[in-house]
Amino acid sequence: MHAMTPVKLLSRTAACLLVLSTQSQSQTQSPSQAGSQAPAIPTQEQLANDNNLFLAMARKALKWEEPDEPVRIVGPVYFVGTKGLGCFLFATSEGLVLMNTGMPSSGPMIADSIRKLGFRPEDIKLMINGHAHVDHAGAFAYFKEQFGAPLAVMREDVAAMESGDKNDFKYADDFVYPAAKVDRILRDGDVIRMGDVRLTAYLTPGHTRGATTWIADIVVDGKPYLVAFPDGAGFNPGYRVARNPSYPGITDDYRRTHHQLEMLKPDIWLAQHNEYYDLAGKRKRAETEGVNAWIDPEGYRQFIAGKKRAFEDEVDLEMGVEKVAAEKGTK
Ligand SMILES: [Zn+2]
């Protein structure tokens, strides 16, 4: 059994869920309450082996299904997601593009957010996705059914999307969602131009086989902005990224993805999970600082570096390598 220091545990992507749930307990409960009411925190191993436990913990601790206020980020880019999950709207001169739809229950919430901003879900001309897991792809079927919006998906995630993720290498049969027919199949580097917005899709596999990083090129008041939506770099509890890999080639996929993400130099970055890019903090600062609050190239760089480090630590762990240098660094 490999004993991990709390810092080392923290450094693993998978542990962020546990850290968050521990924090929220300590913030809302006094020490005496915490002793009697705090639910047992599952171990890493339990989360790795029990998909449903992982899902139940994550959806609650990370507020995946709680409504949130929509907000304009920059120019045509708006946040329309839930408290925990990043869903985004591009309001172009030729119609709306919706990125991500959260959990299966989130469809009406997102539609409401779109209306609150003064747009009509009926005007969605295209839907796109980060990766085909239940917390981002859950309500595409709802939007197709209600508003007839077509869906574009990276080729390697099409089977997942069209089966409700029944073919997932980790979550098949556990994290299913209403299947959504794909109308346009994307390849690495494909560009979608709609009005004044240019969206580029990069295949960044690892987290799923077809995980897609999106880059939006926009110009606001004569100033160009590169907005990145990085995806694919994280691994969940129970993923095997090196030894007995979750799928053949996953190690190389992750490393290529990290490299590709490092090459990007966005001005603004947003993500599928709001805690990654500090939606709450940035939107608060934006009330006084405007768009400058969202400009965060260094935050992006650190985020990718953290994902890469966590991954390489995981590889070492699976391969049984003791990282003497890393141990020193964390004590
Ligand atoms: Zn996922």
Ligand 1 centre from 256 Cα, in Å?
18
Identify the CATH homologous superfamily for domain 53-323. Ribonuclease Z/Hydroxyacylglutathione hydrolase-like (3.60.15.10)
Ligand 1 centre from 271 Cα, in Å?
12
pTM of the model: 0.84
Ligand 1 centre from 35 Cα, in Å?
32
> In this predicted structure, what is the pLDDT of residue 25?
37
Ligand 1 centre from 177 Cα, in Å?
13
> In this predicted structure, what is the pLDDT of residue 305?
97
pLDDT digits (tens, 9 = 90+) for 302-312: 999 999 999 99
Ligand 1 centre from 297 Cα, in Å?
24
Residue with tokens 């989360």: 47
Ligand 1 centre from 231 Cα, in Å?
9
CA–centroid distance for 301 within its chain: 16
Task: Using 70 as the pLDDT threshold, list the residues of the chain that sit under it.
Answer: 1-39, 322-331
Ligand 1 centre from 289 Cα, in Å?
32
Ligand 1 centre from 240 Cα, in Å?
15
Ligand 1 centre from 109 Cα, in Å?
20
Ligand 1 centre from 141 Cα, in Å?
18
Cβ(98)–Cβ(105) below 8 Å: no
Buried b (16+ CB within 10 A) or exposed e, 130-150: bbbbbbbbbbbbbbbeebebe
Ligand 1 centre from 331 Cα, in Å?
31
Q: Which residues contact 220 (CB under 8 A, 6 or more apart)?
A: 74, 75, 291
Ligand 1 centre from 324 Cα, in Å?
31
Q: Is 52 exposed, middle or buried (0-12, 13-18, 19+ CB in 10 A)?
A: exposed
Distance CA 162, CA 155 (A): 11
> In this predicted structure, what is the pLDDT of residue 36?
44
Ligand 1 centre from 287 Cα, in Å?
31
Ligand 1 centre from 53 Cα, in Å?
15
pLDDT digits (tens, 9 = 90+) for 33-73: 444 454 578 888 888 778 788 788 888 888 999 999 999 99
Cβ(106)–Cβ(121) below 8 Å: no
Ligand 1 centre from 179 Cα, in Å?
16
Q: Which residues contact 242 (CB under 8 A, 6 or more apart)?
A: 251, 314, 315, 318, 319
> In this predicted structure, what is the pLDDT of residue 8?
36
Ligand 1 centre from 106 Cα, in Å?
16
> In this predicted structure, what is the pLDDT of residue 327?
59
Distance CA 2, CA 45 (A): 11
Ligand 1 centre from 120 Cα, in Å?
28
Ligand 1 centre from 222 Cα, in Å?
36
Ligand 1 centre from 207 Cα, in Å?
6
Ligand 1 centre from 137 Cα, in Å?
9
> In this predicted structure, what is the pLDDT of residue 220?
94
> In this predicted structure, what is the pLDDT of residue 329?
56
